[in-house]
Amino acid sequence: MNAFLSFTVIGVVTGAAYAIAASGLVVTYATSGVFNIAQGAIGMVFAYVFWQLVDVWHWNILLATLVVVLVLAPVAGALTEVLFIRRATGQAWYVSMVVTIALFVLLLFLADWAWGANLHAAPSFFGDRGWHLTSKVLVTWHETISILLAGATAVFLRVLLYRTRVGIAMRAVVDNRALAGLNGARPAWLGTFSWALGAGTGALAGILIAPILDNLSVLALTFLIFYAYGAAVLGRLRSLPLTFLGAMVLGLAYSYAVGYLPQNSFFDSIPISGLRESLPVVMLFVVLLVMKQGSIEGSRVRAFRESVDVAPFTRSLVTGVLVVVAMAIAVSFMSVGDVVDVGEGVALGIVVLSLVPLAGWGGQVSLCQMTFAGLGAFAMAHVDGGSFLGLLAAIGLAGVVGAIVALPALRLRGLYLALATFAFAFAMDNMFFPTNVAFTYGGTIHVNRPGIFGLHLASNDSFTVFLTVVFCLLAIGLLALRRGPFGRLLLAMKDSEAACVTLGANLTRTKLAVFALSAAIAGLGGALYGAMITQPGATDFASEQSLPILLLAVVFGMATTSGAFLGGISYSLVSTKVQSLAPGIPNLQWALTGLAGIGITMNPSGTVPYVVRMFKGRFAGQPQAVVDLPATAPAAMSGVAAAGTVAAVTPPSGTAAVPTSA
């Protein structure tokens, strides 16, 4: 009985911290329409700031709490809204999501740079002192304060949103920003206030939940707060009572799992500890599947879209050959280290390329592509020592798992789909990749380079050229697919799923096919990436690694194959060449990728389409093909009618609208 009470207390305290963090998500979403994926990272950063003030600078713990929660965090949240989020207003939903992902990545970099190298014990209120619930169950004052603060936060937010003019105006802005402004509300100011409030609750959650860990850890603390997302989703991102109920259920379930699930493993491979750690994200996945979907941005038909030009097959083939020849010449002049860096970049480019049909054309955002890549590396290492059959196994395993993931997620769209795929990736981090079945030899696996049709690809030069050939063949094939009926159906699905269903399209089969295709390409990329570095580890395919992959796709042009090529190579080169210029700053590629992602609001279509538009603008009046790799680069594809129809084009600033055929 005493053990049960102890686990119950821990569960309630954890649930209280989840409730505070989730309430910040609900407030931010309900008032600005933006789901702040960076909420966990915000709580983590300010937990470290709190430690800095209390343990290093010896501030009074109460004063430090007030300064962090009421001053520093709200100011940071307000600046975030003014500088970044406000620019995404009126744009597609995924633009704001990408900005928050970029903020997430940037905060991970900052915390790791400032504090991550050392272990720190999180400060708690009144230390280990407390009161006895029973003779053997001690409830600390920190735990008591956490529960009381959760209740106070719930009451405060409920009164604010439903009993004050400011709260009512905050809720009105997200429903109809223009109409709220006409009735005297100040949408810009209200958005800033809601983000300040959300950041403050995130910081408070980080301070309260940090002592649960033995030592502060950047990733562990971030993802511990990430569990609160399930509570926010259970509350439909609007209902505070349901959010708090969901938080308590999550906290108690996690605590009971830690206390009562056996420590040994089952099937001699899957650790029970991984199941315990994955329980909150599994619950998030289940909640996403069973809850009724709300209104979706993509369900509205758009009257205009940007131009989508795809070159003929012959031009695609010629361009691909030229790229391969150029790579073969370039590697002969490179050093060994440079060739390895470029080869890794091309392999990562294949993983980025997997998002082109899925997200760029189909509008289905996935945050688990590196998980599929890890499955590909796993298959490559375990099938015939890494032969051509290993590549087929990588494609097959990743494709099958992608289809399995897609089956329950078929009814999910937009933000819900992104969260579901990230929950799957996080569960795989805990339950598969750390196991002996997946990655042996001290957390790594050995992946041999394949021999294809008698060709020996042992040298870095030959394998890098081979990777380029594979990328170009995939790009040519995808662009051929884009020119056909399936490609047009993907664009139509991205534009309006409701219209596609009305016209008789089978979106279930379409989504299943594009998910399997995307996962298979990512699996192939992961197998080749593993072969390039020969000794990949589980951390190379961790869930957080999928975030910069999505950012790279968006920054360079999510609908373009050339954007995928440039994104992969740039990420690899930044992680080596740029990192060498600042060896004292770890994970510099995360910082640059995050900064680029934050700037996407100024150019949502991506770098490659922007450059193409600029080039075409200089030759106004002359028909110009949009050159992509190895074909033409579609501009940001925001939709197309079902098949063979003509749609109006939203022209770049200063140019005239021109009809274009899909």
273-308 pLDDT tens trace: 566 677 777 778 777 777 765 533 333 334 334 445
Orientation angle between helical segments 546-556 and 607-617, nearest 10 degrees: 10
- Smallest Cα–Cα separation from 213: which of 47, 446, 346? 47
**pLDDT (0 to 100) of residue 453:** 67
Which amino acid would we find at residue 498? A
Strand pairing category for 646-649 and 660-661: antiparallel
Please state the domain extents for the chain.
18-225, 300-614
E strand map for 573-662: 646-649, 660-661
**pLDDT (0 to 100) of residue 644:** 36
Give, in order, the Cα–Cα distances in Å from 459 to each of 339, 464, 506: 10, 9, 46
- Smallest Cα–Cα separation from 80: which of 548, 543, 594? 594
Strand pairing category for 304-305 and 646-649: parallel
Residue ranges of the chain with pLDDT lower than 50? 266-268, 295-307, 441-442, 623-627, 631-662
Which residue's structure tokens are 């100024």?
A: 602
Phi, psi for residue 304 in degrees, rounded to 5: -130, 155
**pLDDT (0 to 100) of residue 176:** 62
| Pair 253, 283: CB distance under 8 Å | yes
The three-state secondary structure class of 120 is strand
**pLDDT (0 to 100) of residue 650:** 37
Phi, psi for residue 140 in degrees, rounded to 5: -70, 160
Question: What are the helix (H) ranges across 354-368?
Answer: 355
What pTM, to 2 d.p., does this model score? 0.86
The three-state secondary structure class of 646 is strand
Eight-state DSSP code of residue 633:
-
Fold of 300-614: ABC transporter involved in vitamin B12 uptake, BtuC (1.10.3470)
CA angle, residues 318, 322, 323, in degrees to nearest 5: 120
In sequence order, the β-bridge partners of residue 648 are 304
The three-state secondary structure class of 125 is coil
**pLDDT (0 to 100) of residue 147:** 93
| Pair 321, 490: CB distance under 8 Å | no
- Integer distance in angstroms from the first to the last C-alpha of the chain? 68
Q: CA 315 from chain center: how many Å?
A: 34
Which residue's structure tokens are 């060709």?
A: 455
The three-state secondary structure class of 644 is coil
**pLDDT (0 to 100) of residue 145:** 94
